[in-house]
Amino acid sequence: MNSTTQARPYPNRRTLLKTAVSASIAAPLLGACVTSGGSDDSGAAAEGAPKTADNPLGVKADAPLEVVVFKGGYGDEYATRAEAQYAQKYPQAKIDHKGLQKVGEAMQPRFVAGNPPDVVDNTGAGRLDIATLVAAGQTGDLSDLLDAPALDQPGKKVRDTLLPGVVDDGTFGGKPVALNFTYTVWGLWYSKSFFAERGWQYPKTWAEMLTLCATIKKSGVAPWTYQGKYPEYLNDPLLSMAAKAGGLDLIKAVDNLEPGAWKQPGLVQAATAFAELAGKGYLLAGSEALSHTEAQAAWCQRKAAFIPCGSWLESEQKGVAPAGFDMVLGTVPAGGPSDRLPVTAVQAASSESFLVPTKATNPAGGREYLRILFSKASATAFAQANSTLPAVAGATDGLTLSSGLGSVRDAVTAAGADTFTYRFRTWYAPLAKAVDDATGELANKRISPADWSTRIQKAADALAKDTSVQKYTR
């Protein structure tokens, strides 16, 4: 579903860019956050070479290329491999690579000054708010990249090689402006070996979940923990349960800021279900104060049976999870028999967001670099190295997969067309923070499910009425 502009654009580019980093701080801590965006015209002045079968994007052979990559849990070797391949094709081009931890902090002044790099991996806790960049006209249109021939899949365009939803995830106002390299699936993680040892079966319904939690608690293990300092982790299964209850209509109502969207029965029921976890004492004591690394370490130590997280978890827990832990992802249990989506449906979206800025010096080179990065061979190498599903379809075919990555691939296969994602987190960072804060209060028994719904609806209504904020619909 492509987004379409609904309200007037932001009025002042410079003011927007100065606030882009602070706005992004309210966004999710990790790349689990689905980052995507929309665009303006791409800096055609720097193009310069005729487009041919061997050079479909018109790259000038000797034009320098600057690539900025978020050097997080995946490192940046996968990016430098693509740069090496670019250098083989264009040996006259000098490549400047920067692997950074705080992309937004480093890139904000360059966007403001009008001299951004040619490629930016806008990912990580301090990333720039993509909606702000879009409204300020700082993101280049990637349509020609998506329509270019795939590098190593004859007869296919780049867009034809991507998993469902990847193009939409990077689209604002009808224009694709970000291309996301990883494919994240959200669910509940557990140790397959631990469950087998205890004779526990993964639940398919929430009623079965509560029954299992009672059994787990009696054994002396906490049924759940979560990354309490970052309650967006708990939002993911809550919102997944709501989506299964209300279907795509519920998701669209939320994303489109419709009146009363957060008071839909599916959302209130899901909030009630997750309030039960706290009310029945099924959360590990002290989870509220845990960071993502602390909660995940406690889970790996078998102090808790379940933890909510995106599919980057296995890669992040390398060196922490003990041998034979065999972590696997399970889909969020069904809320009830009236659910509009099947239990196999999963929340999934692409992340690790690459963009070519409007004012890039070498935009054609930036898009060609992405064509190389998003090749099947590049994606396969990434999957092998990082135990993470890439956004390129078929990248894991023929590989012997780890327990976690295998379970993620199986979940996507089982879901088929029943994958879904919310867009409000990417479109409206302040609303995302309001939801996170409310869920943190809900999990700690400080507000009721009805209060949770009312509180978020108030924030959504205020945003809907704010004419200074550009709106998007799906």
Same domain, 159 and 11: yes
Is 422 inside any structural domain?
no
Q: Which residues contact 394 (CB under 8 A, 6 or more apart)?
A: 161, 376
Q: Which residue has the tokens 């690579």?
A: 97
Is 59 inside any structural domain?
yes
Same domain, 325 and 465: yes
- Among 409, 441, 461, where does a domain finish? 409
Range of the domain at 55: 4-184+349-409
Is 212 inside any structural domain?
yes
For the question of whether the overall pTM of this predicted structure is more than 0.85, the answer is no
| CATH code of the domain covering residue 463 | 3.40.190.10
Q: Which two tokens stand for residue 370?
A: 């992405």
Is 199 inside any structural domain?
yes
As for how many domains the chain has, the answer is 2
Same domain, 41 and 70: yes
User: How far is the C-alpha of 152 from the C-alpha of 278, rounded, in Å?
Assistant: 50
Same domain, 286 and 319: yes
User: How far is the C-alpha of 153 from the C-alpha of 162, rounded, in Å?
Assistant: 12
Task: Give the end-to-end CA distance of the chain in Å, rounded to a whole number.
Answer: 6
- Among 409, 439, 458, where does a domain finish? 409
- Tens digit of each residue's pLDDT, the chain (474 residues): 333 323 322 233 333 333 344 344 334 333 333 333 333 444 344 556 999 999 999 999 999 999 999 998 789 999 999 999 999 999 999 999 999 989 999 999 999 999 999 999 999 878 998 989 999 999 999 999 999 999 999 999 999 999 988 999 999 989 999 999 999 999 999 999 999 999 999 999 999 999 999 999 999 999 999 999 999 999 999 999 999 999 999 999 999 999 999 999 999 999 999 999 999 999 999 999 999 999 999 999 999 999 999 998 998 898 899 999 999 999 999 999 999 999 999 999 998 999 999 999 999 999 999 999 999 999 999 999 888 899 999 999 999 999 999 999 999 999 999 999 999 998 998 999 999 999 999 999 999 999 999 999 999 999 999 999 989 999
Is 414 inside any structural domain?
no
Is 276 inside any structural domain?
yes
Same domain, 158 and 206: no
Same domain, 332 and 244: yes
Is 213 inside any structural domain?
yes
